[in-house]
């Protein structure tokens, strides 16, 4: 029998808590640590995840077999390249392929080169003048800074004035010579399709929807995500077939043609437009909060999928999913995504029903106490064969949990429920 594995999950959010929870259910896991983890996870190892050399030394010393990376930064900084030759498997793309997320311009050029359905765009930088593009679209454009910006580098504009202000903001923040792109603004529902790939085949998990705006009705400022649900009914068979044909297959062809040895997650952020699905962005990692619903709905062993990606045998595996809908409502600190207070006492988690999941995002332990330590604090996840019942159960369960100035969106899954 194959030896059991020691795994390190890198990151500190709800996504990483969900990854550790799901991997921890595999009979093939010997030990699992989180670096740095949060108040809901253990054991946690306190290493700065920006320090790739320190991560490598720890993993070598602790005889880690597999590293699963949650956030994009270590991947874009080359953690996979840095571990090459150590014998430790790091699940994710090398630095060159991580540009699919790390550079919006690289990513759009890749989409264009391989015929992936996406919005038309033009690239700008230095002394380039975007006035003509902005005018010709009457300001209905999306301006995107080229580099990683933690979700803050994208400006969805409705007027020429807004578009000009977006360009000015990018120049002010990232320098006069900052590179950016401008693309046509699309309309439609968004869908997250997240798959595990070995570079040839892909096994997609259930299609999900995130809720990026802070307030009900998709109002207010953008956040890291206030809730998610899966499977999203908007992803009909026909829609999924079109996504396969016009987005996923051309992407896999591109990955192969570029010679990337890609064993990891690929996330397709898609808009369902009147003229078919269009790719808004790639991420090279699991989504947050999507992971908090797509992993509970996966019946198969996640570790089997990850190991198959390394072995190049993903095409032989057919993952199994629950028949139920899964809903995640995020409990956030008052003020988030703006300034908010921390160190609030969290109560009530022990009262949650046995089949309710609670993934921590921004929590920490101090002695016996569980305290808030971030803007997004907890993810409450419920499921049912009926989506509305899953949503209602989730909101009923949430009433058991409290911390000072806690808030959440009251309308998670509204698009699917037609509310
Ligand atoms: P991105 O990081 O590129 O996915 O952009 C962040 C968000 O901006 C997306 O989730 C969409 O809500 C919005 N967005 C991006 N590109 C477009 C587009 N071409 N048309 C309309 N909205 C967009
Ligand atoms: N939920 C969006 C993301 O993870 O980028």
Give per-residue pLDDT as tens, 215-233. 999 999 889 999 999 999 9
Task: Please report, for the domain that includes residue 373, its CATH number.
Answer: 3.90.600.10
Listed residues 138, 166, 184: the one ending a domain: 184
Question: 207 alpha carbon to ligand 1 midpoint, in Å?
Answer: 18
Grouping H, G, I as helix, E, B as strand and the rest as coil, residue 69 is strand
Q: Which of 120, 143, 156, 247 to mutate to test the pocket of ligand 1 (most atoms within 8 A of CB)?
A: 156
Task: Supply the residue whose CA is at minimum distance from atom 13 of ligand 1.
Answer: 156
Examine the pLDDT at 43 and tell me if it is beyond 60. Answer: yes
Q: Around Cβ 352, how many Cβ atoms within 10 Å?
A: 16
Sign of the Cα torsion 304, 306, 308, 311 reads negative
Instruction: Give the start-end residues of each E strand in 299-388.
Output: 325-333, 357-360, 363-366, 369-372, 376-384
pLDDT at 141 over 80: yes
Position 127 confidence tier, pLDDT thresholds 50, 70, 90:
confident
Inside any domain, residue 399 = yes
Per-residue pLDDT tens for 83-126? 999 999 999 999 999 999 999 999 999 999 999 999 999 999 98
Atom of ligand 2 lying closest to residue 289 CA:
1
Question: How many domains, the chain?
Answer: 3
* Domain assignment of residue 277, yes or no: no
Give pTM, 2 decimals: 0.96
In a domain, 270, yes or no: no
The pLDDT assigned to 2 comes to: 59
Q: In terms of residue numbers, what domain contains 65?
A: 5-94
Strands 121-124 and 219-222: unpaired
Q: pLDDT tens-digit profile of 169-220?
A: 999 999 988 999 999 999 999 999 999 999 999 999 999 999 999 999 999 9
Q: How far is the CA of 280 from the centre of ligand 1 (A)?
A: 6
pLDDT score, position 152: 77
Mutate to test the pocket of ligand 1, among 107, 208, 281 (most ligand atoms within 8 A of CB): 281
The answer to whether residue 380 is domain-embedded is: yes
Distance 71 CA to ligand 1 centre (A): 19
Q: What percent of the chain has pLDDT over 90?
A: 94
**Protein residue closest via CA to atom 4 of ligand 2:** 287
User: What are the pLDDT digits (tens) for 160-173?
Assistant: 999 999 999 999 99
The predicted pLDDT at position 1 comes to 42
pLDDT in tens, 265-295: 999 999 999 999 999 999 999 999 999 999 9
Residue 293 lies in a domain: no
377 inside domain: yes
Cα-based distances in Å from 178 to 124, 144, 163, 166, 172? 8, 11, 16, 12, 9
- What integer is the mean pLDDT of 7-21? 98
The rounded Å distance from CA 3 to ligand 2 centre is 34
Q: Which atom of ligand 2 is nearest to the CA of 225?
A: 1
22: Cα separation from own chain's centroid:
16
Write out residues with Cβ below 6 Å of ligand 1: 119, 142, 144, 154, 156, 183, 185-186, 190, 269, 280-281
Give the nearest ligand 1 atom to 185 CA.
20
Q: Which of 184, 201, 232 is the last residue of a domain?
A: 184
83 and 9 both lie in a single domain: yes
Q: How far is ligand 1, taken at its centre, from the CA of residue 404, in Å?
A: 33
Who's near 57: CB < 8 A, 6+ residues apart?
none
CA of 31 to the centre of ligand 1 (A): 39
Residue 36 lies in a domain: yes
376: nearest Cα among 82, 71, 132, 38:
38
Pocket test for ligand 1, best of 110, 153, 154, 211 (most atoms within 8 A of CB): 154
């Amino acid at each position: 029998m194959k030896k059991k594995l020691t795994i390190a999950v890198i990151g500190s959010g709800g996504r990483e808590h969900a990854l550790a929870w799901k991997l921890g259910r595999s009979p093939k896991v010997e030990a699992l640590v989180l670096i740095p983890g949060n108040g809901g996870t253990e054991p946690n190892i306190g290493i700065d995840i920006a320090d790739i050399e320190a991560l490598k030394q720890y993993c070598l010393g602790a005889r880690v077999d597999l590293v699963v990376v949650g956030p994009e930064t270590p991947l874009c900084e080359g953690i996979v390249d840095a571990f090459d030759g150590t014998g430790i498997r790091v699940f994710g793309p090398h630095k060159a392929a991580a540009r699919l997320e790390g550079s919006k311009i690289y990513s759009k050029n890749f989409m264009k080169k391989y015929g992936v359905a996406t919005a038309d765009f033009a690239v700008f930088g230095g002394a380039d003048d975007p006035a003509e593009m902005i005018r010709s679209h009457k300001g209905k454009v999306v301006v995107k800074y080229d580099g990683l910006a933690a979700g803050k580098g994208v400006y969805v504009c409705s007027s020429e004035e807004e578009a000009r202000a977006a360009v000015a903001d990018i120049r002010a923040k990232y320098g006069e010579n900052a590179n950016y792109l401008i693309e046509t603004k699309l309309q439609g529902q968004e869908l997250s399709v997240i798959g595990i790939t070995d570079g040839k085949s892909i096994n997609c998990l259930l299609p999900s929807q995130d809720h990026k705006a802070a307030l009900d009705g998709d109002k207010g400022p953008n956040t890291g995500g206030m809730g998610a649900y899966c499977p999203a009914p908007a992803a009909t068979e026909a829609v999924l077939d079109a996504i396969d044909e016009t987005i996923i297959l051309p992407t896999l062809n591109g990955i192969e043609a570029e010679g990337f040895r890609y064993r990891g997650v690929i996330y397709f952020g898609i808009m369902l437009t009147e003229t078919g699905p269009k790719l808004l962005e790639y991420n090279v990692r699991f989504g947050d909060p999507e992971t908090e619903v797509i992993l509970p709905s996966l019946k198969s062993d996640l570790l089997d999928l990850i190991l198959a990606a390394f072995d190049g045998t993903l095409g032989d595996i057919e993952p199994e999913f629950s028949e139920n809908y899964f809903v995640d409502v995020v409990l956030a600190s008052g003020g988030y995504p703006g300034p908010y207070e921390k160190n609030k006492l969290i109560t009530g988690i022990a009262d949650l029903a046995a089949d309710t999941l609670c993934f921590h995002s921004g929590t920490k332990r101090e002695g016996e106490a569980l305290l808030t330590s971030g803007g997004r604090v907890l993810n409450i996840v419920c499921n049912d064969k009926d989506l509305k019942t899953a949503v209602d159960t989730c909101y009923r369960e949430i009433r058991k949990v409290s911390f000072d100035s806690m808030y959440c969106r009251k309308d998670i899954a509204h698009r699917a429920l037609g509310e």
